[in-house]
Structures are given as structure tokens and as C-alpha cells.
Amino acid sequence: MTAPAEPTVQRMVEIGFDRLRAHLLNQAELIFIEALSRQPDHAAARRLIGVARCKMGRFQEGLADLRAATILAPGLEVAWNDLAVALRDTGDATGATEAHARAASIRAQDPAAGPLSALTALAFATDRAIHRFELGDYPYVATIRHGGGRPSHPKLTAILEGGRGGYEGLIDEMAALGDHFGAIPMGGDGTEAHPYWLNAWCPPLDGMAITAMLKRHKPRLFVEVGSGVSTKFARQAIRRLGLTTRIVSIDPEPRNEVDKLCDQVIRKPLEHCDPAMFDVLQAGDIVFLDSSHRAFQGSDVTVFFLEILPRLKPGVIVQVHDIYLPDDYISGHVDRMWNEQYLLATALLFGEAFEVLFPAWWAGRDPALRARLTETVCIGPLAGLDPYGASFWMHKRG
């Protein structure tokens, strides 16, 4: 049997670009390292690894890569654009202004190009995304209004800020699980029954949050709507921490083989289930939602928010996955037309039914919380692991 051909350098860069836009920064960096080992003068790979490293807070390395990219491709606007963003974010106003001017001068050579964004509003090129589409007779343009180099939504930010002390407490509980986390391998291929950190579905901070929440609340039931790597994190935590939690998996077709890890499996879509099944959940039990992320008429998300959330008892813990509040969806998700988080945002803005327990995306981006994570959790065997997550944890108030 012939072995599959190795990807070309250009294909590797394309894959790394997709990982970067999905904020899988560790994976993106590894791909770019391999691409550059084969072709050290590849300007795009050098620029993109610089962006990835800056996003991980390793600005000295990232700036060196971005400067090298401008030498490799001095006439490329995007190289100067990204260097200007990194210099601005590190406080080098003079250097940022010079790089921005170079990018603007290159753009000015194209009569069809509009003006370059002001330096204060400039974002890494990988953070920009526009998706044009039509539904029925109406055209839409999906774009990023909050986050991605732009200010986060101010009122949502204020709501999340109000729970900072609780987030710090959960991070400290994660730090106490260092031995547990250190035993989890970095890589894998998805066929194992155990989790691994550098997967594409349940990023590191989400796996850590699952474990810490299970340890804190010791739920009787962990009900998943959408199963896979999260199930593996949950089962490993239950086993190693000596919990009696039962896992119920609702998913028509999990992306990983998890049936043997669950106590009950329901292999059909949530919208085909009786909402009354959630009435058995008690305070401290967990509902982990990771479904289609699209609220359409009769879809799983619509059923969850309109028919299941209102009937949950006070104290039931709810996790909604792939939530980037107080920002919009990240650039790699814009063309997927996800809209689930806007239902959640509306609930938070116009009511107090839920208390936010841990917004993983915001915690991983907030400077103080990120520092707490990198200095107390991502250490030892986990040193260098980017504390990226997109799980949003809350519970119903009494």
C-alpha cells in the first residue's frame, strides 16, 4: 500500500493559516515550524508564525519573525500591516507608525484599494473576515464588529468583569490539579479513550474547566449535548478524582468514539428529544451544550434556549461551547454562520437569570487572568500551552 504523499510547504502554510484563524495557536506554530524547516525563506510562513507567537504573548520572538517577513517580502502590504499591529501592541509607537506608513504607501499604489485603517483600528490580517451571502431575497454581510483587534462589546464586558473574583478562584482550583493535567499527553490522533491537549475540538482551557467544575460540584449527572473530546476529559476526571458522576451523551453522531465512556447514550438530535428529560437535573448537575451553534426554526439551539433552559432548576450548571463573548465569533468561524452566542448575549444583557461562572475565552484574553493561568496552570509539563478556551459556564439563579 502506497503511503500518502507529504503535504507541500504551501499546503502546510494553508493548514496552519486555518489553525491560526481558529485560534489553535500551538498547532499553528508547530505547522509553521515544520514548513520553515523545509523552506526557511517562505515569507507567509514567517509572518504567520510571528502572528501566532505574538498572540501567545511571546512578542520578542513574534516581532523578530514579523521583521524577517518584511525583509523577505518588502513590497507586501500585509507584512507591514502585521508588524505595525505587533509594534503598537508592545508600546513602540514610533516603530508602529513607520510600519503603518509603509503599509499605507504600498496600498496607495493600487487605485482600486481603499484607504488603510488607522493605526489605532488596525488588526492582524488573520483577524479580519467578511462573509457575504443571501437568504431568500436579502443580502447579508457577516463581519466582526467586536474583538479581532476592535473593542469588545462594552456592556457585555462589564457583565463579565463583575465575576472576576469567581474566575480567579476557578483558576486557582485548576492550578491545584497540576498533577492531573500533567499526566494528559500533548498529542494524539483521536482514537484513544483518553483526552489530549492539542486537539481541534476541546481546547486546553475548556478541558481544564470541565475537570475543575466536576471536582468542585461533584455532580450526579453530566449531560452532554454534543460529545467527543469533552467526554474524554469528563470521564478521565471522574475516574481519577473518584467521582460517581454519570455521563449522558445526546448526539446523533459523535466525532469521536465515546459510547464506552458514557453511562447512557441517546443517538438522536436534541430537537427530537423530550425536553422533560432535563427535569431530573438538580442543583450542581451539569448540562454541557456543544451542538450545531445555529438557531434556526426547530434547530437544536432554538429548542435548547427556548424549551430547555427555562425549565432547568435553580443551581443547575450550564456550559455553552464556542462562545467568544464579549467579542464576535473569531475570523475562522465567520463563514460558518454560527449565531448561538447572540441568543446568550441577549439573555445576559436583558436579564439576571444566570450567574456567569467562567467565560473561558475572556479569561484567556484578559491580561490579569491570562497571567494567572500561564503562571500557575500552564507550567511544568504544560509550559508553553496557550490557555485558549471557548466554553461559557453559568448557572441558574435561585
pLDDT value at position 6? 75
**Which of helix, strand or coil describes residue 330?**
coil
What percent of the chain has pLDDT above 70? 99
Confidence band of 2 (pLDDT split at 50, 70, 90): low
- pLDDT at 255 > cutoff 90: no
Cross-strand bridge partners of residue 133: 140
pLDDT value at position 319? 98
pLDDT value at position 159? 97
**Which strands form 286-289's sheet, in the order they lie side by side?**
264-266, 246-250, 221-225, 286-289, 317-320, 392-396, 354-359
pLDDT value at position 3? 58
- φ/ψ of residue 395, rounded to 5: -140, 155
pLDDT value at position 5? 63
> 135 versus 344: which is more confidently predicted?
344
14: CB partners within 8 A, 6+ apart: none
Mean predicted confidence (pLDDT) in 154-162: 98
Mean predicted confidence (pLDDT) in 169-175: 98
pLDDT value at position 320? 98
pLDDT value at position 374? 97
306: CB partners within 8 A, 6+ apart: none
pLDDT value at position 7? 84
Mean predicted confidence (pLDDT) in 114-139: 93
- pLDDT at 1 > cutoff 60: no
Are 159 and 354 contacting, i.e. CB atoms less than 8 angstroms apart? no
Mean predicted confidence (pLDDT) in 250-257: 92
Query: Of 63, 339, 370, which is closest to residue 204 (Cα–Cα)?
Result: 370
Confidence band of 170 (pLDDT split at 50, 70, 90): very high
pLDDT value at position 106? 96
CATH for 9-125? 1.25.40.10
pLDDT value at position 43? 98
Are 357 and 170 contacting, i.e. CB atoms less than 8 angstroms apart? yes
> 191 versus 345: which is more confidently predicted?
345
pLDDT value at position 136? 86
Query: Of 390, 389, 333, 385, which is closest to residue 198 (Cα–Cα)?
Result: 385
Mean predicted confidence (pLDDT) in 171-183: 97
The string of pLDDT tens digits covering residues 333-385 is: 999 999 999 999 999 999 899 999 999 999 999 999 999 999 999 999 999 99
Are 390 and 206 contacting, i.e. CB atoms less than 8 angstroms apart? yes
Question: What's the pTM?
Answer: 0.95
Cell numbers given for 383: 509550559
Confidence band of 217 (pLDDT split at 50, 70, 90): very high
Q: Where are the domains of the chain?
A: 9-125, 154-396
The string of pLDDT tens digits covering residues 283-300 is: 999 999 999 999 999 999
200: CB partners within 8 A, 6+ apart: 19, 22, 24, 27
- pLDDT at 273 > cutoff 60: yes
The string of pLDDT tens digits covering residues 12-67 is: 999 999 999 999 999 999 999 999 999 999 999 999 999 999 999 999 999 999 99
Q: Which fold has domain 154-396?
A: Rossmann fold (3.40.50)
Mean predicted confidence (pLDDT) in 273-280: 97
